[in-house]
Structure 1
Amino acid sequence: MRIKMIFVALIAVALAACSSSTTYQPAEKRGAYGYTETKLGKNRYRVTFTGNTITDKETVNDYALLRAAELTMQEGYDWFQLVNRDSESKSRSTSSFSGVHEVGGGSSVYQRCGLMSCDTYVVDHPSRLSGGVSSTSTRTSYQSSLEIKMGNDPMPDTAEAYNAQELAATLRRWMGNRQK
């Protein structure tokens, strides 16, 4: 009985992980969920934030800006300016079948879920399907990449320049209010 309870608890944790947005944290490796940075020069970096399919585009963009502000302060600078900004989206479609009756064979749909994502496999069997409903859902994930140049006062008078301390405080406040 105890093993069964542990198994149910592990499944609940795995399902919860699949349905929550990406937290603000360093990515375990390039391309994984979270932020990464690459030093491009003395005062230049590329900051990237990759979200999962639950994390909306606005949040991904804000997390990239927050990391740029934090990195700017860590490096001893007051402001950063966006030199280049790039956003990418990846969509994945999943089909499911319900109420399908096989007539001499058909297709089987299998779904394998890990902690962060699910993969769907369709295996065709020689024959045809009768009845049922087919549906397709599309999930989109976003990535924001910023190339920044850091500096100290005076800050350039341009819309692409940000005071790192002010921006970080504003985004943290916004994130705190959003989680309530």
Structure 2
Amino acid sequence: MRRLISGAVLAVSVVTLTACTTATPYQPVTGNPASSMARGYSDQKIETNRYRLKFAGNSATSRETVEDYMLYRAAELALENGFDWFTLSGRNTKEDKSTTTTYRDPFRGPYYGGVFWRYYRGPGWGPWGAWEEDETTFYRYEASAEVILGKGPKPEGDPNAYDAREVKQNLDGRIVRPAARQ
């Protein structure tokens, strides 16, 4: 029975860990887009040809992927609304950095609970307190911009103007969609 429970706990741990290390797929945000846990794209129509757009990834999603997904969504918005090109205004990519440190317990081992462990400084004994074992830094990116949509040929000489069909075609192979639920 104990072995069965241990196996079940291990299986749940592996599934949970795997879910945490998967990059955010290209998907709309579910729930509140203002939540710090929101992952995916959200857009808000401001005018007939203007949207506020955001794509937020998790710590397994690269900066390049987050920016590509925002561009892809801007191209989709243009084409869905009958426009040919778009420009990005106020484009920004925010980086959130968090560091996690794990510690080794100095009191683990055969001498746990020994009074002398804490005070004796001789060879083979460690100092008081925990030792830093490992430090991991996680990065999370969120890209945002106002998207201005236009019809006809894209403006020449504007480095912020994109042909919607071309962007969609060129980025389509890089888009990872969520797995279908069974």
Which TM-score bucket, shorter chain as reference?
Answer: 0.7 to 0.9
* Contact persistence 2:104–2:130 (CA under 8 A): no
**1:17 equivalent in structure 2:** 19
SS in 1 for 2:16: helix
**2:90 equivalent in structure 1:** 84
Cα gap change, 1:55 to 1:156, in 2 (>3 Å)? same
Instruction: After TM superposition, give the deviation of residue 10 of structure 1 in Å.
Output: 3.1
* Contact persistence 2:69–2:175 (CA under 8 A): no
Instruction: After TM superposition, give the deviation of residue 134 of structure 1 in Å.
Output: 3.9
**1:69 equivalent in structure 2:** 75
Which structure shows the higher strand fraction?
Answer: 1
Q: Please identify the structure whose Cα radius of gyration is greater.
A: 2
Structure 1: tracts of 5 or more residues without a match: 107-127
Provide the TM-score with structure 2 as the length reference: 0.74
Provide the TM-score with structure 1 as the length reference: 0.75
**1:171 equivalent in structure 2:** 171
Whole-angstrom distance in 2 between the partners of 1:8 and 1:133: 26
Structure 2: tracts of 5 or more residues without a match: 119-126, 177-182
Query: In the alignment, residue 166 of structure 1 is paired with which amino acid?
Result: E
Cα gap change, 1:7 to 1:98, in 2 (>3 Å)? closer
* Contact persistence 2:103–2:130 (CA under 8 A): no
Question: 1:41-86 CA deviation, whole Å, 9 max, x = no partner?
Answer: 1100011000111111111100100111111111111111112201
Cα gap change, 1:136 to 1:4, in 2 (>3 Å)? closer
166-175 or 147-156: bigger deviation = 166-175
Query: In the alignment, residue 173 of structure 2 is paired with which amino acid?
Result: R
Question: 1:69-119 CA deviation, whole Å, 9 max, x = no partner?
Answer: 111111111111112201111111212101422787x9xxxxxxxxxxxxx
* Contact persistence 1:100–1:133 (CA under 8 A): no
- The size of the alignment, in residue pairs, is 155
Instruction: After TM superposition, give the deviation of residue 148 of structure 1 in Å.
Output: 0.9
SS in 2 for 1:9: helix
Cα gap change, 1:156 to 1:54, in 2 (>3 Å)? same
